[in-house]
Structure 1
Amino acid sequence: MTTIRDIAKHVGQEVKIGGWLYNKRSSGKIQFLQLRDGTGFIQGVLVKKQVAPEIWEDAKRLTQESSVYVWGTVRSDERSATGYELDVTKLEVIQIADDYPISNKEHGIEFLMDHRHLWIRSRKQHAVLTIRAEVIRAIQNYLDTNGFSLIDPPVLTPSSCEGTTDLFHTKYFDEDAYLSQSGQLYMEAAAMAMNKVYSFGPTFRAEKSKTRRHLIEFWMIEPEMAFVEHEENLEIQEQMLTAVVKQVITNCKQELAILGRDLTKLENIEGPFPRITYDEAVAFLQKEGFPEFKWGDDFGSPHETLIANSYEKPVFITHFPTELKSFYMKPDPNRPEVCLSADLIAPEGYGEIIGSSQRIDDPILLEERYEAHDLPREAYQWYLELRKYGTVPHSGFGIGLERAVAWICGLEHVRETIPFPRMLNRMYP
């Protein structure tokens, strides 16, 4: 048995495929079976006079999402979206599906989200999840081949890594615990042991946001690097993102075409990326439509979109106000009121996809920042000790997988970029 993904290897040969009926039409003497097997889609052509009567009748009674084994000869066909068709010689019904709820007509988004377990079978959703898998593969390929080691941080933590209250609380036997909102602090510890590391896993934010850019549970890739300072950190991000986009374009052309993605916008993604300081961003916003925006304010979606629309590539906004960012970000030695930080804003209005900074390596300064943010010392005494035993300059960044996939796919909402999204009012299915 073969798969539709590998069908090009079998032109002129008879193959067996296990799959499901995606759609069907008939001209009376020919049945056209749109088949999917989880790896791709292909049309099977069944000619009445060329098969046994019982095969023809079995094909006639197939309903949407009925499961089958199909035998047939593979042939090239330029008219096909996949470039190949299957001349069906035999089929075996596994199950006739009963009243499949998602038809080819329009359905409301809430209906589709209620049936997300079935919706992911559709051609568009299959394309999105295929690209998601390729983005993951590309990120890990870049990191794995550039000296990074994968390290797994805990999901249960004793406190917030950033001092926020937007946490999911649980009990850890007789202690309080929280679902992790970032593995970064643990990656800093790992970097002191392994030099260049990264984590890849789920993170959780309990903020009650309903925007198209937010999920309650999402996946983060968080590299951390010893002996790497701010400038080199930005260069690594440029190199990684460029490599990821190129790999997706190369390996997912068909999926991007299904989504109607404008490839010219992606083909333009190559470092170096433009950079502006927070100061420059504030001046730009005040001039271009947000006169009320003042120094020290944080950017919202409209602000990020306006900035991004001025560039055809992702743009770094650097040197944010120190008090606006997390306690561990290193102040600029030449101007302590701003820190050595950056947000990478995707083009086309997709917002921040990477947040980064050089971390504080001075143990005295970190103690001061820790106390200023009134953080629980008992929960992260170990983190403070990292600066006591062999402190070094180090930097890192975090990339939100779903936002990156939404941008690469050209999707309006991040909910389609994850198989089973968790949002403010949705935890089903």
Structure 2
Amino acid sequence: MKITITEANKYVDQQITIGCWLANKRSSGKIAFLQLRDGSGFIQGVVVRDDVGEEVFARAKALTQESSLYVTGIVQKDERSPFGYELLVKDIEVIHESVDYPITPKAHGTEFLMDNRHLWLRSKRQHAVMKIRNEIIRATYEFFNKEGFVKVDPPILTGSAPEGTSELFATKYFEEDAYLSQSGQLYMEAAAMALGKVFSFGPTFRAEKSKTRRHLIEFWMIEPEMAFYEFEDNLQVQEQYVSHIVQSVLGNCKLELNTLGRDTSKLEQIKAPFPRISYDDAIKFLHEKGFDDILWGDDFGAPHETAIAESYDKPVFITHYPTSIKPFYMQPDSEREEVVLCADLIAPEGYGEIIGGSQRIHDHALLEARVQEHGLSEEAYKWYLELRKYGSVPHSGFGLGLERTVAWISGVEHVRETIPFPRLLNRLYP
């Protein structure tokens, strides 16, 4: 019977066959230990010479790293194994022999591993990160479907930019100028006016020449928009959603978190509600911590966000930023028009902003004035302005960056490990 490794717990003491690759091996005179992987997981295969005979044992000892195999054996419980099971091998069939596999068990430099990303993905560490990424995506759909949201797909090619064109990739769209999307938000607002509560999940692009561990050129965003939701409603959805995905990873990715050495006690505390600090109070706090260079009206950098986050065990909302440093579409506070009804959600442990969100302007005249103030084309934004002419309502939304969230939950240092094939400032290969 052919099964996958993750199904092994259903076949204890039974003979099965798995299609797999050899990740690593070690052997003595009488026993060979094969580290096998099949994409679903990892299991150790134990080959005992006296059980299988000289021919099969010689075949096992001759196996090369990343050769593909059919391995037949009996599933046995093994409490020493992280997986809890091992395979007592009875036979091995070599499908394809791998020769001179470049990524050996020794240490390799980052650039070498990035050049070989198509192979590095096979490693146990990268496998664990990708499984956690997949669980976050699964839990995302689960949460929004349960809450009555409709999945909507905004365009990737756009004729205008939600936050200006300075960090966009431009291209020609036949005779017109077009851009790769940096956010689906504006289109999701239109969808919310039609469907009430919507969310998108897709790629976004930022032509930002940054080399920090938090930045990618191409990344994935989850962007919900909600009609009739005001600022407070928006924050509650965010903290419920983040709590849900963290708890889902804790419940369904124990083996992967253990593989990565993640301190899960920190994740177990991530349950709504989350603490909040206003931008005003954040400035005061930073001054107390010795950040004398930050002034009211400045945006926060990574050191500032990290200093604030270190005071909390959970993600923290920084709210009510100055109008001058936020995009044109954010709703001003009715009591203080110099600040807007927005919040950034800062992850603990130095991972920075994972969500940016706000209540959106729903007054046509105010939004039109903001478009003019920001020097944007009224013709390009005509359709967006029209959303405020035909039954406008208060509405809110946010965007969560998937890769930063994966990095935080999995505990890896750099976002380049959280996407299958990262696009960085100087990397378009493989």
TM-score interval (norm. to shorter): over 0.9
Aligned with 2:168: secondary structure? coil
Q: Structure 1 residue 406 and structure 2 residue 393: aligned?
A: no
Q: Which amino acid aligns with 1:35?
A: L
Deviation at 1:54, TM superposition (A): 2.6
Matched, 1:379 2:347: no
Spell out the pairing of 1:82-101 with structure 2 (5 A cutoff).
Answer: 82-101=83-102
Q: Is residue 289 from structure 1 mapped to residue 286 from structure 2 by the alignment?
A: no
4+ residue runs over 2 A deviation: none
Partner of 1:237: 238
Inter-partner Cα distance in structure 2 for 1:380 and 1:52: 75
**1:58: how far off?**
1.9
Q: Which residue of 1 aligns with 2:262?
A: 261
Report what 2:423 is aligned to: 422
Post-superposition Cα deviations, 1:217-266, rounded to whole Å, max 9, x if no partner, equal: 00000000000000010001111111110000000001000110001100
The whole-number CA distance in structure 2 between the counterparts of 1:104 and 1:252 is 24
Q: Which residue of 1 aligns with 2:221?
A: 220
Q: Say what the alpha-carbon RMSD is for the aligned residues.
A: 0.7
Which residue number in structure 1 is paired with residue 40 of structure 2?
39
Residue matched to 1:312: 313
Give the Å deviation of 1:85: 0.5
Q: 1:11-410 alignment to 2 at 5 Å?
A: 11-410=12-411
CA distance in 1, matches of 2:133, 2:419: 8
- Deviation track 1:179-217 (CA, whole Å, cap 9, x = no partner) reads 000000000000000000001000000010011100000
Unaligned runs of 5+ residues in structure 2 are: none
- Counterparts of 1:60 and 1:306, CA distance in 2: 53
**Secondary structure of the corresponding residue to residue 209 of structure 2:** coil
Total equivalences in the alignment = 429
SS for the counterpart of 2:86 is: strand
Cα distance between partner residues in 1 of 2:204 and 2:236:
25
CA separation in 1, counterparts of 2:147 and 2:241?
Answer: 10
Aligned-partner Cα distance in 2 for 1:402–1:62 = 36
Alpha-carbon deviation of 1:127?
Answer: 0.3
Q: Structure 2: which amino acid aligns with 1:305? A: T
What whole-Å deviation, never above 9, does each CA across 1:301-360 have from its counterpart, x for those lacking one?
Answer: 000000000111100000000111000000001111000000000001110000000000
Distance in 1, Cα, partners of 2:258 & 2:77: 19
The code of the aligned residue for 1:283 comes to K
State the alpha-carbon separation in 2 of the partners of residues 279 and 10 from structure 1: 60
Amino acid at match of 2:324: E
- Identify which range, 356-365 or 371-380, moves more after superposition: 371-380
Q: Which amino acid aligns with 2:330?
A: M
Q: Does the residue aligned with 1:90 lie in a helix, a strand or coil?
A: strand
Cα displacement (A) at 1:163: 1.6
- CA distance in 2 between counterparts of 1:291 and 1:30 reads 64
Residue 96 of structure 1: how far off its partner (Å) = 0.8
Match of 2:237, as an amino acid? I
**2:380 & 2:369 partners in 1: Cα distance?**
17
CA distance in 1, matches of 2:292, 2:50: 74
Q: Please tell me the residue identity of whatever aligns with 1:218.
A: F
2:144 aligned counterpart, secondary structure: helix
SS at match of 1:102: coil
| Aligned-residue offset at 1:399 | 0.1
Q: Distance in 2 between matches of 1:305 and 1:32?
A: 44
Measure how far apart 1:289 and its partner are.
1.2
TM-score (norm 1): 0.99
Post-superposition Cα deviations, 1:32-76, rounded to whole Å, max 9, x if no partner, equal 111000010000011112114332222122100000001111010
Could you say what secondary structure the match of 1:316 adopts?
Answer: strand
Give the structure-2-normalised TM-score. 0.99
Letter in 2 for 1:5: T
Query: Percent same amino acid at aligned positions?
Result: 67
Q: CA deviation at 1:12?
A: 1.1
Structure 1 residue 81: Cα displacement? 1.3
Q: Deviations over 1:354-389 (max 9, x none)?
A: 000000000110000011001112222110000001
